[in-house]
Amino acid sequence: MSSTILHASGFPPRSELQEQTPNPEKHPFLVQLGERIRKIRNGRGMTRKELASAAEVSERHLGNLELGVGNASVLILLQVAQALKTSPSDLLDDQAAHSPEWQMIRELLANQDEATLRRAREVMLPIVDSATTATGQRPTRVALIGLRGAGKSTLGHMLAEDLDYPFVELSREIEKFAGCTISEIQALYGQNAYRRYERRALEETVQIYPEAVIATPGGIVAEPSTFNLLLSQCTTVWIRAHPEDHMKRVQAQGDMRPMAGNAEAMDDLKGILAQRTPFYAKAELHLDSSIRPLDETFLSLRAMVRKTLQLDAKGKP
């Protein structure tokens, strides 16, 4: 087995890069990648020779890359991206190269803190999403978000009854669209199809119900466009719980799948929760369902929702 010798920078030496022979058949992806690199290079006012020197690759290799016949390694893309003062993801992103407005917006938002980014998103939503509310009034739909087992359905039913609002279990609406269960959607059609059904179910729910309490699937935050729609059309509440409570509640519902054949189920659950927490935290209201009994948790939820929506004792503004 041959080995690649790296120089002090951690990248293959130029001599080895020059020995690479380009693939005579141009793959469409490589052609697009080459075009993006060339456009970004031109935008930076760099010659091919200057970029090759800055990236520590041969000019011939860079030329092949821009022509779409050079199948670059990840390390080479990193070198080229650094020389262009951008990121590898920008080289792989169509809009990064041909949309000046996109580049300018990204530059404005780069290195901003979370609070600033949130304000920017809230300002931009009504501009870019025609489905967002045009009245400027707070949405009277209440959406409960959080990982499975947090208590969204139980608390959602109770809140809907208290406010005299319809209760919508979004997972059931997804199944109606698809004509099969959630597990069947994912097994037969895949995750992308599931996300499309999820988006359609949310759009229809928003159109049908001006007032509602909506219990959402735990993974709704995984699709940014769907989550943006939810945030713009609903007053959102993150129902959070300790990982152990998530697991116990799912098992109490008779679902043993989280533990089936997985000795590290708790670690997996904690990993998912850690990954989604920054997105769940974007909800306007937060409620911990682990620290109090159900009745007390509901009273806290009821109080914060009524205060936020400025509802009177009868549940109406």
- E strand or H helix at 67, and its extent? helix 59-67
In this structure, what token pair is assigned to residue 273?
């929760």
H/E element holding 269? helix 265-280
Query: Cα–Cα distance between 95 and 217 in angstroms, integer?
Result: 31
Residue type, 119: R
Mean of pLDDT values over 258-264? 55
Query: Whole-number mean pLDDT of the chain?
Result: 82
Mean pLDDT on 49-63: 89
6 pLDDT above the threshold of 80: no
pLDDT for 40 equals 80
- Residue pair 80/51 in contact (Cβ under 8 Å)? The answer is yes
In 3D space, the residue among 194, 217, 222 whose CA is nearest the CA of residue 279 turns out to be 222
* Claim: this prediction has a pTM higher than 0.95: no
Token pair in block for residue 250: 């799912």
Torsion sign (Cα): 151, 203, 228, 140: negative
Q: Check residue 127 and give its pLDDT.
A: 72
Mean of pLDDT values over 200-212: 95
Q: Which of these, 202, 206, 184, 204, lies nearest to 193 by C-alpha position?
A: 184
pLDDT at 2: 42
Question: Higher confidence at residue 263 or residue 3?
Answer: 263
User: Cα separation of 201 and 280, whole Å?
Assistant: 20
- Lowest-pLDDT range of 92-101, 111-120, 129-138, 258-267: 129-138
DSSP 72: -
Which strands make up the sheet holding 212-215, listed edge to edge?
167-169, 212-215, 141-145, 235-240, 285-288
Q: Superfamily assignment of 120-309 in CATH?
A: P-loop containing nucleotide triphosphate hydrolases (3.40.50.300)
Higher-scoring residue by pLDDT: 71, 180: 180
What pLDDT does residue 250 have? 80
State the angle between helix axes of 152-163 and 294-309 in degrees (0 to 180), rounded to the nearest 10.
50
Domains 14-102 and 120-309 share a fold: no
Q: What fold is seen in the domain 14-102?
A: 434 Repressor (Amino-terminal Domain) (1.10.260)
Domains of the chain: which residue ranges? 14-102, 120-309
